[in-house]
Chain A
Amino acid sequence: MSGFSEWTPQLIQDEIDALKHKPGALLPILHAIQNRFGYIPSEAVAIIAESLQQTRAEVHGVISFYHHFRTSAPGSHTVQICRAEACQSMGARSLEAHAKEKLGVDYHQTTSDREITLEAVYCLGNCSCAPSVRIGDRIHGRVTPEKFDKLVDTLTTRALEVK
């Protein structure tokens, strides 16, 4: 469901080689790796550093600076809840509490069945129809706790084939 591939050093090298000619290539490379494998494996740091003629410290520093980049595998779905002011004014604080209780995890954690990773986000630009939640590349507006449950249940419910 998550659609991520298993990484190998060669596949990581392929992603780097496709982009390293670009000026300021490091962020595009990190995005490409995360898009394909779901996260940036620690082993990738040395490969990137070598390819870009940078130090591993520099590469690690960039990865750790940006909230978007993750260094461990996420669940099948990443659910982001907006914590910013427009959503706060429409009940985002109680939605956050509800979501953590429903999923049994805190931010940056993944449910024990590896289905859902919960993340915080600061603004999805859907501020007139708050509160907002992002699942994958899909954004949802006016998310009440009931709507949240429905969204999450759809993610984790597998259709059974009746023969």
Chain B
Amino acid sequence: MSTKIFVPCDTTALAMGADEVAARIEATASARGAEIELVRNGSRGLFWLEPMVEVETPAGRIAFGPVEEDDVEALFDAGLLDGETGHPLCQGLTEEIPFLKKQQRLTFARAGITDPLSIDDYRAHDGFKGLENALKLDAQAIVDEVKASGLRGRGGAAFPTGIKWQTVLDAPAEQKYIVCNADEGDSGTFADRLVMECDPYMLIEGMTIAGLAVGATQGYIYLRSEYPVAHRIFDEAIARAEAAGYLGDDILGSGKRFDLEVRLGAGAYICGEETSLLESLEGKRGLVRAKPPLPAIVGLFGKPTVVNNVLSLAAVPFILDKGGQAYADYGMGRSRGTLPMQLAGNVKRGGLIELAFGASLRELMEDFGGGTFSDRPLRAVQVGGPLGAYLPESQWDLPLDYESFAAVGAVLGHGGVVMFDDTVDMAEQARFSMEFCTVESCGKCTPCRIGSTRGVEVIDRIRAGENREANLELLTDLCETMLDGSLCAMGGMTPFPVQSAMKHFSDDFKR
């Protein structure tokens, strides 16, 4: 009887050598005359264990990691195929690994369990049930279900998804669009990538439901060019979904139409901003548009458009399958459901952590993360990407929810958490924030375009000890100008990391 072995195929597993490990496993099995069935599954998001090899046993899947190519022979010797757990790389039953067991996975329930491209696997794990339900409902009933879930946009702005959909549904037009923002540019984030690489049909299903809800027949996924693996897997998933009748002009025999196409970005961070993204999709420079009009009224090619983040759309199949209330039962206050957090940077156990809103940052970094990779004291943590504040230890007990973070001038953003040890120079980090803005500003508004350039210069003077007090005051003033005067979040939030570094790590500006 053949034994099922799983070797993940997501970007991180591949970056750590998963293809080489898979090849060695096949070669070793063949040399030893052992019958195996090798499955390239998605990743569970336990990245410090990648490549994480799993073996199916009667008791459940057993994990080994991180496996290097040269460990394979020894793993076979130690009884890999017989479910033996004696090898030092053995992590026991995958589902019992505390990092995974303590999570509340709704959106990522299938990630790493299934073969991402297998429609049969997807269906066997509740896939397309939400779509089947949606096909029985009228448009308003679908929108009402999403409203009842309390889902708020997971891209960072946290706007209620149901209200956005209602606006597009109510806008009369011949043509409407669903646009998925997969321009996941924030450092420390990879949840969108994981959805597209590990469970692509979930996003296809979510977008199709969105199309049915608002009366849109065309969807675009705007994917960043820095994600070649996601691009390859997702394109293949669209082709297979079309062939199986889940996309196209007659979805599951309903007579309803929905088509999907991936459009590749071209290395511009600003195109994660929704109006810039729409310009880019139209084939233009990614210049930010002034709002209003909202994209929900005048969006892509001037038509009413839903622009949602990958995670928002990926939450929709669960909501239409289990009901809006089942989703709203998770969370706290006005932050309902779960938030996939991403633990990254200088961390011992990094990866994807999906939890109901309300856990603390400290739990995440210590209980899940196990502290820093370097074993040095943790000093600062940036939450919410390059436009998010740096938080000092006094703020690590904040609950992870949109309002608690906003109250201290921080943002949860897309859920990225980047940890830094005590070797970090926070004045250098502040300088980088301004530098990043000079590189990535679309240039349309002056506070962002010129302000960031002046910001780099002023921080350089401060770090060189030139008129330090006066320049610190100037920097404070410049930050306020950018904050109040910029057209979008690029210039308007670049001051967050700078101000937080100045406020909580002021010593670093005086060395």
User: Which residues of A does B touch, CB under 8 Å?
Assistant: 23-28, 30-31, 52, 58, 61-62, 65-69, 84-90, 121-130, 132, 134, 137-142
Contacts and interface: CB of A to CB of B under 8 A. Distances in A.
B266 A128 contact: no
B283 A87 contact: no
Contact of B344 (A30, A67, A121, A130): A130
Contact of B226 (A25, A26, A62, A123): A123
14 contacts: A23-B301, A27-B265, A28-B264, A31-B225, A65-B442, A86-B188, A90-B346, A125-B11, A127-B416, A128-B344, A128-B351, A129-B350, A139-B11, A139-B228
B510 interface: no
Given A86-B187, A125-B184, A67 B267 contact: yes
Q: Which 3 A-B pairs have the closest CB atoms?
A: A128-B350, A26-B283, A84-B187
B47 A121 contact: no
A134 B14 CA distance: 12
A69 B186 CA distance: 21
A142 B382 CA distance: 20
B429 A128 contact: no
Contact of A65 (B185, B286, B419, B439): B286
Interface string B385-406: 0100000000000000000000
A128 B268 contact: no
Contacts of B205: none
B449 interface: no
Chain B interface secondary structure, helix, strand, loop or mixed? mixed
A57 to B, nearest CB: 11
B350 A24 contact: no
B226 A127 contact: no
Contacts of B185: 122-123
Given A27-B280, A125-B227, A128-B12, 8 more contacts: A27-B283, A65-B442, A66-B268, A84-B188, A128-B343, A130-B345, A132-B15, A141-B16
A61 B285 contact: yes
Measured as residues with beta carbon below 8 angstroms from the partner, the interface class of chain B is: 35 or more
A122 B269 contact: yes
A7 to B, nearest CB: 19
Residue of A62, A66, A125 with most chain B CB atoms under a 10 A cut-off: A125
Given A90-B373, A127-B189, A121 B350 contact: no
Contact of B429 (A24, A30, A85, A127): A85
A121 B419 contact: no
A105 B442 CA distance: 28
Given A122-B185, A137-B228, A127 B15 contact: no
Nearest to A22: B261
Contacts of B301: 23-24
A137 B264 CA distance: 14
A51 to B, nearest CB: 12
A125 B189 contact: yes
Interface of B: 11-12, 14-16, 47-48, 50, 184-190, 193, 225-229, 263-269, 280-286, 301, 342-347, 350-351, 373, 382, 386, 416, 418-421, 424, 429, 432, 436, 439-440, 442
Nearest to B226: A124
Contacts of A24: 263, 281-283, 301
A84 B429 CA distance: 10
A16 to B, nearest CB: 12
Contacts of A30: 266
Given A66-B267, A129-B350, A121 B226 contact: yes
Nearest to A66: B266
A89 B346 contact: yes
Nearest to A62: B285
A122 B440 contact: yes
Given A27-B266, A123-B226, A126-B12, A89 B283 contact: no
B187 A87 contact: yes
A58 B420 CA distance: 42
B284 A122 contact: no
Contact of A86 (B282, B345, B351): B345
A142 B48 CA distance: 11
Given A66-B266, A122-B440, A128-B351, A141 B188 contact: no
A79 to B, nearest CB: 14
A26 B186 CA distance: 25
Contact of B418 (A66, A127, A138): A127
A67 B15 contact: no
Contacts of A87: 187
A31 to B, nearest CB: 6
Contacts of A31: 225, 264, 266
Contacts of B187: 84-87, 122-123, 127
Residue of A30, A124, A132, A138 with most chain B CB atoms under a 10 A cut-off: A124
B266 A142 contact: no
Contacts of A68: 225, 265-268
Contacts of A23: 282, 301
B226 to A, nearest CB: 5
A58 B263 CA distance: 20
B268 A88 contact: no
Nearest to B369: A128
A67 B189 CA distance: 20
Given A129-B350, A130-B344, A139-B15, A62 B418 contact: no
B226 A84 contact: no
A129 B440 contact: no
A143 B184 CA distance: 22
B424 to A, nearest CB: 7
Contacts of A126: 11-12, 15, 190
B341 to A, nearest CB: 12
Contacts of B429: 85, 88
A40 to B, nearest CB: 11
A129 B47 contact: yes
A95 to B, nearest CB: 14
